[in-house]
Amino acid sequence: MKQSSQHCIDPFEQRRWRLAHGRTLKIGPRAIVMGILNATPDSFSDGGRFSHLDAALEHAAAMAADGAAIIDIGGESTRPDADPVDAAEEQARIIPVIEALAKRPELILSVDTWRAETARLAIRAGAHIVNDVHGLQRDADMARVVAETGSGLVAMHTGRGRERLSDPFVDQRLFLGETLRLARRWGVAEDRIVLDPGFGFAKTPAENLALLSGFSRLHEFGFPMLVGTSRKRFLGRITGKDAERRDAATLASHVMLRQAGAAIFRVHDVASHVDGLAVCDAVRQPALFDLSGDA
C-alpha cells in the first residue's frame, strides 16, 4: 500500500503529526478525540443546533473542556441525502467560526471540506488541518493547497460517486492508493497525512462491519488512522436506535478500533469517548497513567 514502507506500522508508536501554522500533535500512545462541530442546518444528527456563531463557539468550548484535542468544523452536511451548498455558503458558515476559535491558541482546528478554495481560506483564518471526505479526488487543486499551506491532512475513503470493488479492503487499497499518489505528486509530506477508512460513506452494513473487524489490516498503508463511526446508520441498523441514541454503540465500536490501533476518533459525544478510550489505553499501557497509591 504505502510504497516507501511495505510493512505494517506500530500504530501505538509515538509520531508527530505536522500541521499548519507550525503546530504539531503527538499521536500514537494515547487516543485523540476530535469533536464534531457542524455549522449547518441539516446535518443528520445535530443539524441546526450550532449553525449560529454564538452557539457554535459555545459548543466548541464545551467539547474542548471535555477533552477534545481537535475541533472539526464543517459547513456542508455529508449525509447521503443532504442538499448541496455552494462554496460561498459553505465559507460563510465556517470562516467566522474558525476566525473566532483561532483566538484560542490552545485549540487545534480542522476544516471539513472537499473544496480547495474553502480549505485555503480556512487555513488562512487559522485552521490547522484539512479533513477531505473525498480523499483529494474531487477537487483537483486540493492536494496543491494542502502542500502549499503546510496543513495537516485527513484523507478519507469514500464509495460515493464511483464504482466500488466488492472486497472493501481491496477498494480501500485502490482508492487510498490514488489519494497517496496525488499527495506525493504535489509534495504533501508524509508526516502531515492521516488516513480515514470512511465508515458509513457508501458502504453497506456488512462492509462497515468487515472494516471494523479487520481494521488492523489497514496499517499496511503505513499511516496513522482516523475513524468516525459516530452515530452512523449502520449502528442504528444493529441497535434499532435513532441517531441521537447511538452514542453507546459508537463508543463500543471505537474502543474496538482503538484496540486495533486507530489513533484519532471523530465523535459527537466527546466526554464519554475521552473516558472510555482512556480506560482502553490504561489497559494496554498502564505506564501512561498515574496509577500509584492505594485503592
Find the catalytic residue in 30, 192, 232, 258: 232
Q: Is 284 a catalytic residue?
A: no
Beta strands (DSSP E) in 139-189 are 152-156
Contact 81, 118 (CB under 8 A): no
Residue 245 DSSP code = G
- Give the three cell numbers for residue 252: 463500543
Neighbours of 257 (CB within 10 A): 25
Pairing between strand 24-27 and 15-18?
antiparallel
Contact 115, 145 (CB under 8 A): no
Could you tell me the end-to-end alpha-carbon distance of the chain, in angstroms, rounded to an integer? 47
Find the catalytic residue in 144, 173, 231, 266: 266
Pairing between strand 32-38 and 70-74?
parallel
Contact 127, 20 (CB under 8 A): yes
Q: Is 232 a catalytic residue?
A: yes
Cβ-Cβ contacts under 8 Å for 214 (sequence gap 6 or more): 169
Instruction: Measure CA 78 to chain center.
Output: 13
Q: Which long-range contacts (CB under 8 A, 24 or more apart) does 281-287 make?
A: 281/29, 281/30, 281/31, 284/12, 284/259, 285/12, 285/29
Angle made by CA atoms 205, 209, 214, in degrees to the nearest 5: 150
**H-helix or E-strand containing 249?**
helix 247-259
- Give the three cell numbers for residue 95: 470562516
Catalytic residues: 232, 266
